[in-house]
Structure 1
Amino acid sequence: MSSTCSTFSFRSHGTIPQEFLKYKKQQRYRYRARKRAPLIQNLLIHPPTEMALFRNFFGGGPADPEEENGAELVERFVERVETCSAPEDRRDAIRALRSLAKKYRLAVGTMGMNSYVDILEKERMNHEILALVLDTLSAVLSSDDENVEEDELGERLAEVMLKRAGLVSSVLAAIEQFDFGVRRTAVQLLTSLLRHRGPEVQASVMGQPMGVSKLVDIVHDNREIIRNEAILMLCELSRSNAQIQQLLAYDNLFVLLFDVVDTEPLDSIVIEDCLFVTLNLLRKNAMNQQLFRENNLIARLGTILHSFLYGAEGETDEAVDTGEWAKQRTANVIFLLQIVRALVSPDNAGTNTHAAQKAIYQTKILAELCRVLLSEIGASVEILTESIIVVAESIRGNYTNQEYFASTTLITPDQSTRPSLLVLLISMTAEKQPFKLRCSVFYCFLSYLFDNEFGKTKIIETLLPSSQPENAVSTGALICQAISSSESVQCWFGCVSLMHCLYQVEHLCEQLLRVQLTVSSEGPSVSLLSHVSQLLTSMGNRRPQMRAGVLMLLGVWLNGSPQAVTSFVAKDENLQYLTTHIADECGEGSESEQQAIRGLIAFSLLVCLKSTEDKDARSSLEALIERRVGKEAVISALEGLSRTEQFVRAAQKPQPLAKQTNELFLDFHFVKLFKNIESSLVKQIRPTGEFNGTANNDSIIQSFKELIKRQDEEISVLKHEAKRAQTEITRLQQEADKSSLEKELEDVRAKLEASCSVQAHSESVSLQLQEAQRVAQQWYSEAERYKQWAAQWQSYQLAQIPNAAEVGVAQLQQQIAELEQQLSFGYQAFEQQSQSIVQYTNQNAELREAVSKLESALATKEREISEAKSSVAVNGHASNPEDQEEVTKLRSEQEDLLVLLAEQHNKMTQYRRTLKSLGQPVTDDEDE
């Protein structure tokens, strides 16, 4: 109210001091920032609108909130954080920056970095402001886009943050605090930093004393939200850092995560996070795998798997009854299976893999997985596929597990039993099964055959003449049936499966020559080798995938059996096919596939040459190759196989990595055999010469890896450019929608400018008058706004108190009492001043009387002195010394009297001014 009254007072004088304008601005800021709680929230949520209100106060027109400069707005709030001393002001400014963090990520993240770091280091006990700062930093690092890997702005901001010394230590110190808001936001910020700059943050955490242990301790927090955020943070912390992974494992993190899994429902996403951290700690980390086994955690893993598949003990799981699994439960089971797979992966050290396979067998996990394969529990295709792969790697190279798997059976609806191998092959050869399931079954069958000569022998024996019923279904019969299939994938599966039965077992290659097949019911039976050879020649240059499978089977078979080579070479059409199509570049398939086929044909030719024992036959075959093809052409085709894309893809892992059917072309173990014998094959026809085969395979594979990496980078750039182009297209479309309206607006504006230029001179005076009236109206509206604010604040305060009317009356009565007390104090002061004036008047009268007496005495003395002087002058005698002394005395008294008169005059003047100031009537008469 006082500021409103002052405004009217200044306006009445016609001028407004600058001090008042500054004071008015401060008062308005304090009024809005401290007093009006509802309005400050509106300012924080919609700052551009409030800034437009500020401009309206000082003569600016209304502005569009979208046109507000975000950087300037952020700068103002950062300045408030740095300069304001009141904690409430700084808190509100930080809250405003938090609300702007998503819209102006770069400005909020860079301009206020110094303030943020200072608060994190110096104000750790102010939990409210600390939580706001941590939340703001986390918000600027997080993008609305789900693809975090392409968040370049987040990468840059994280880099800027980590350049500030002590940031990570401050975040870790905040995590140690028990306050809910501080700890939660600190964990979220650390998670965001790890996602963007993982290696740097990991190094910083390692540099802190007990840094990893402090982070593991958060999992003990009994508040589930913080515990879950900590698990997400550990997901990022445990990525690709073996040292941190070992520290986490030694801090008993495995047990803590499994305890969390036991307390969560089966379809909880927290279980997925716990299992993901466990998977990070075990994958390709031999020390952690050993620690996991020594702590008997594989048995606990089996218990969790059983509860996932069949429900916890004492609970009825609806998913088991209905045959439908929730998506999250499926994801949890898949992650658990991947943990088991990480323990038995072929990429691990041989001792670790074998020990894990033994523990999986002893803890009944293998039996549990076999039940999944051979029973109907409602598992999805994803779970079934992953289970088959885990079984494959659990039995790979372990004879005990392989025999146990082969001994398991499936009970059919007619109460007959069917071996698990037979069930696998039936699924592999079924065209209606999903491709990824067929690939997993194929890998499981190959894992059963790996280093299992006894198993290979039993499968070959099912193809030999025996006392078995003719119509009985056996594994060998299913393999031969697959080889004869018209489906390319099924034929490839059959050829590679039979190839693995012969791989590194020469006596089985001889046994397989005894196999006879009945292709048609009317025709005679033919040998398996003749059937495979005829199948190859009948395809010509078509079906590259089937040809690749047949050529790999022939290559391994011929390499292990000289008798098979003799039988194969005895038919001219076989050599005719090989020597004709080795240089054929007009077949089906891509260029890389044709090059791989030519390399397989060259491999088969040179294997025949190598395995021919008769010198004459060998010389004849070598001459035939030289005459029809040429040695250099054969060597070139052989060396070209290792440079193909199919060769590089097959050489990576024993498990087929194909996502589409046409990607199955070469086999891992055939590639391995090719590398071992390629040099010896080339030396047959080039005894003294340079060999450029797979000796340089490492460099070739590395070049392909670099090519793939470059292609991935190009794809990422293209995706980014496509996203940017889409944004630009959207913007251009919006501009196109507005273009017609803007054109009309420009036309109207041009017409207005033309009319204004004609009337500018005549209306200049009137415009100035209008401007003056507008300014005056703004001041009046401002005064009215002050009154409204005061009334609103008063009503707001009254509304917050019960019995507001009585409280308001009491406040008014109290104000009246205070004013009456001030008025009584004023009257008392006036009476005291009146008494002082009367006292001064009496003293003045007394002084006047004394002065008049002294003046009369002085006149008498002067008269006597003049008479004495005249008498002395007449008589001509010197005056009496006593008279001279008296005259001197009188003169000194006269001078003193003059000084007193001067002082009395000054006091009179002062008293007269005092009376005038007190409002008393004073005349100019000295006597009065």
Structure 2
Amino acid sequence: MDLVSGYKGVVGLVFGNEHSASNEDSYVERLLDRISNGVLAEDRRSAMAELQSVVAESHAAQLAFGAMGFPVLMSVLREERDDVELIRGALETLVSALTPIDHASGPKNEVQPALMNTDLLSREAENISLLLSLLSEEDFYIRYYTLQILTALLTNSQNRLQEAILTIPRGITRLMDMLMDREVIRNEALLLLTHLTREAEEIQKIVVFEGAFEKIFSIIKEEGGSDGGVVVQDCLELLNNLLRNNASNQTLLRETIGFDALISILKLRGNAYRFTQQKTINILSTLDTINLLMMGGSAAESGKDANKLTNITVLVQKKMLDYLLMLGVESQWAPVAVRCAALRCIGDLVAGHPKNLDALGRKVLGEDSQIEPALNSILRIILRASSVQEFLAADHVFKSFCEVDSCFCS
């Protein structure tokens, strides 16, 4: 069947007649015709490689491809599974069609064809189902390019993709399986799942049911905890998506693997005074996770307050105050942002919680003759703070402390 002929007129309909007569349009059309109607496999593969190259480099070719190319390439993905090279080429071409090209000569308000292509491809749930099915293929590049396509679609058509993936049997399961794949695929899957779980409570629950917590902390440990690279940051962003305003997921984390793996990320190891930019980001992301647990869930959830109290109680039982005091008070080599975030967490842990307040009141810092109550050290920060932010963070600890038991502040 000649798939191209049925779509020749669509270019003018979608993008305007001025594009349909361009050289790029004619070239793209000829390549699609060779892919769709070619007899020799090698010629079809060659046409696919040429198509990928021109779509990756030409703004006009992206426009033309958006109107004519998707039916042809989706047909290849559906019917040519035995031709691995052709499938690879089709997927790489789709990646190029969805990747914005810097088009400096065009008007500032001109719509990017890559965004229009994203919209066109994501309109049909059948396309998403077909792409997800490719994740079970053995070829590395097929899985890798497929994840890149899905991530591009999620970036620009998040709600539509979320709705589509929810309706596809084992759709999320296939994505979760990618976290156990090779490192490059795993990292791409992390980015995809981060986009997928944003403001999507139903998807968040399914992802957790599929073992997300265990997989996330396994990757964080493998990558070196807070000393790890951007992969650790991606893991923590995904974790925070799963816990934000979601009391049931917080409860599952607490009652299954517990908080130990999370708290251990804050433990300073080796050259503790060395805070690279990435380590700072990782520590701050972990403190964001602690904050989410101390919130307990969304205001609309009936069990939020009970969950919040339980989370805070367990965190202190797991010696969270010790780690926070190390980061916020003792580690003066830590960046100001880390010290401030840790101090604010201390204040939130003791606010309205007499047992935790008492635990903080009994904490001492320093060694040998330099030992002093932790509250004295925090008071010194208030008196000698080098920045307004640090003063306010330390002041927050004292205000939280005094609200519960004013006798300590008399």
Among residues 415, 430, 441, which one is paired with 2:394 in the alignment? 441
Whether the aligned pair in 1 keeps the contact of 2:131 and 2:146 (CA below 8 Å) is: yes
Alpha-carbon distance between aligned partners in 1 of 2:388 and 2:38, rounded to the nearest angstrom: 66
1:276 maps to 237
Alpha-carbon distance between aligned partners in 2 of 1:206 and 1:164, rounded to the nearest angstrom: 14
Whether the aligned pair in 1 keeps the contact of 2:154 and 2:161 (CA below 8 Å) is: yes
Alpha-carbon shift at residue 436 of structure 1 (Å): 2.7
2:255 maps to 294
After TM superposition, the structure 1 stretch with the greater mean CA deviation from structure 2, 264-273 or 368-377, is 368-377
Closer/same/farther in 2, CA of residues 440 and 377 from structure 1, 3 Å limit: closer
Among residues 81, 97, 100, which one is paired with 2:35 in the alignment? 81
1:406 maps to 361
Number of residue pairs the alignment of both structures matches: 372
Closer/same/farther in 2, CA of residues 347 and 250 from structure 1, 3 Å limit: closer
Alpha-carbon distance between aligned partners in 1 of 2:265 and 2:29, rounded to the nearest angstrom: 54
1:128 maps to 85
Aligned to 2:259, the other structure's residue is in SS state: helix
Q: Is residue 69 of structure 2 the alignment partner of residue 69 of structure 1?
A: no
Query: Could you list the runs of 5+ residues in structure 1 that have no partner in the other structure?
Result: 1-67, 311-316, 462-928
2:287 maps to 337
Closer/same/farther in 2, CA of residues 337 and 118 from structure 1, 3 Å limit: same
Aligned to 1:442, the other structure's residue is in SS state: helix
Among residues 145, 169, 180, which one is paired with 2:129 in the alignment? 169
2:183 maps to 224
Query: Could you list the runs of 5+ residues in structure 2 that have no partner in the other structure?
Result: 1-21, 103-109, 299-303
Alpha-carbon shift at residue 214 of structure 1 (Å): 1.5
Whether the aligned pair in 2 keeps the contact of 1:205 and 1:211 (CA below 8 Å) is: yes
Name the amino acid aligned to 1:182: I
Among residues 99, 105, 108, which one is paired with 2:65 in the alignment? 108
Name the amino acid aligned to 2:189: A
Among residues 163, 166, 171, which one is paired with 1:203 in the alignment? 163
* TM-score in terms of structure 1 length: 0.38
Alpha-carbon shift at residue 289 of structure 1 (Å): 0.4
Whether the aligned pair in 2 keeps the contact of 1:392 and 1:444 (CA below 8 Å) is: yes
Closer/same/farther in 2, CA of residues 374 and 437 from structure 1, 3 Å limit: closer
Name the amino acid aligned to 2:54: L
Alpha-carbon distance between aligned partners in 2 of 1:256 and 1:277, rounded to the nearest angstrom: 11
Greater relative CO (CA pairs within 8 A, separation 6+):
2
Alpha-carbon shift at residue 290 of structure 1 (Å): 0.6
Alpha-carbon distance between aligned partners in 1 of 2:93 and 2:214, rounded to the nearest angstrom: 34
Alpha-carbon distance between aligned partners in 2 of 1:163 and 1:441, rounded to the nearest angstrom: 52
Alpha-carbon shift at residue 168 of structure 1 (Å): 0.3
Whether the aligned pair in 2 keeps the contact of 1:276 and 1:335 (CA below 8 Å) is: yes
2:212 maps to 253
Alpha-carbon distance between aligned partners in 2 of 1:165 and 1:439, rounded to the nearest angstrom: 51
Alpha-carbon shift at residue 392 of structure 1 (Å): 2.3
1:119 maps to 76
Name the amino acid aligned to 1:180: F
1:90 maps to 44
Aligned counterparts, 1:279-358, within 5 A: 279-306=240-267, 309-310=268-269, 317=270, 319-320=271-272, 323-345=273-295, 348=298, 349-358=304-313
Aligned to 1:297, the other structure's residue is in SS state: coil
Among residues 310, 319, 322, which one is paired with 1:367 in the alignment? 322
Alpha-carbon shift at residue 420 of structure 1 (Å): 3.0
Whether the aligned pair in 2 keeps the contact of 1:370 and 1:405 (CA below 8 Å) is: no
Closer/same/farther in 2, CA of residues 434 and 142 from structure 1, 3 Å limit: farther
1:632 maps to none
Whether the aligned pair in 2 keeps the contact of 1:143 and 1:151 (CA below 8 Å) is: no
Aligned counterparts, 1:666-705, within 5 A: none
Alpha-carbon distance between aligned partners in 1 of 2:116 and 2:397, rounded to the nearest angstrom: 46
Whether the aligned pair in 2 keeps the contact of 1:100 and 1:108 (CA below 8 Å) is: no
1:234 maps to 193
Name the amino acid aligned to 1:403: D
Aligned to 1:245, the other structure's residue is in SS state: helix
Alpha-carbon distance between aligned partners in 2 of 1:69 and 1:448, rounded to the nearest angstrom: 73
Alpha-carbon distance between aligned partners in 1 of 2:101 and 2:394, rounded to the nearest angstrom: 41
Whether the aligned pair in 2 keeps the contact of 1:341 and 1:390 (CA below 8 Å) is: yes
Closer/same/farther in 2, CA of residues 109 and 389 from structure 1, 3 Å limit: farther
Name the amino acid aligned to 2:274: E
Q: CA RMSD in A?
A: 2.3
Alpha-carbon distance between aligned partners in 1 of 2:158 and 2:401, rounded to the nearest angstrom: 40
Closer/same/farther in 2, CA of residues 393 and 144 from structure 1, 3 Å limit: farther
Alpha-carbon distance between aligned partners in 2 of 1:385 and 1:79, rounded to the nearest angstrom: 62
Alpha-carbon distance between aligned partners in 2 of 1:272 and 1:208, rounded to the nearest angstrom: 29
Whether the aligned pair in 2 keeps the contact of 1:101 and 1:136 (CA below 8 Å) is: yes
**Larger radius of gyration, structure 1 or 2?**
1
Alpha-carbon shift at residue 86 of structure 1 (Å): 1.4
Name the amino acid aligned to 2:318: T
Alpha-carbon shift at residue 78 of structure 1 (Å): 1.9
Whether the aligned pair in 1 keeps the contact of 2:100 and 2:112 (CA below 8 Å) is: no
Find runs of 4+ consecutive structure 1 residues off by over 6 angstroms: none
Closer/same/farther in 2, CA of residues 91 and 445 from structure 1, 3 Å limit: farther
Alpha-carbon distance between aligned partners in 2 of 1:156 and 1:449, rounded to the nearest angstrom: 57
* TM-score in terms of structure 2 length: 0.84
Alpha-carbon shift at residue 91 of structure 1 (Å): 1.2
Alpha-carbon distance between aligned partners in 2 of 1:130 and 1:299, rounded to the nearest angstrom: 44
Alpha-carbon distance between aligned partners in 1 of 2:357 and 2:311, rounded to the nearest angstrom: 14
Alpha-carbon distance between aligned partners in 2 of 1:436 and 1:126, rounded to the nearest angstrom: 60
1:457 maps to 407
Alpha-carbon shift at residue 276 of structure 1 (Å): 1.1
Whether the aligned pair in 1 keeps the contact of 2:245 and 2:296 (CA below 8 Å) is: no
Q: Is residue 340 of structure 2 the alignment partner of residue 385 of structure 1?
A: yes
Alpha-carbon distance between aligned partners in 1 of 2:166 and 2:335, rounded to the nearest angstrom: 42
Deviation digits for residues 545-586 of structure 1, max 9, x if unmatched? xxxxxxxxxxxxxxxxxxxxxxxxxxxxxxxxxxxxxxxxxx
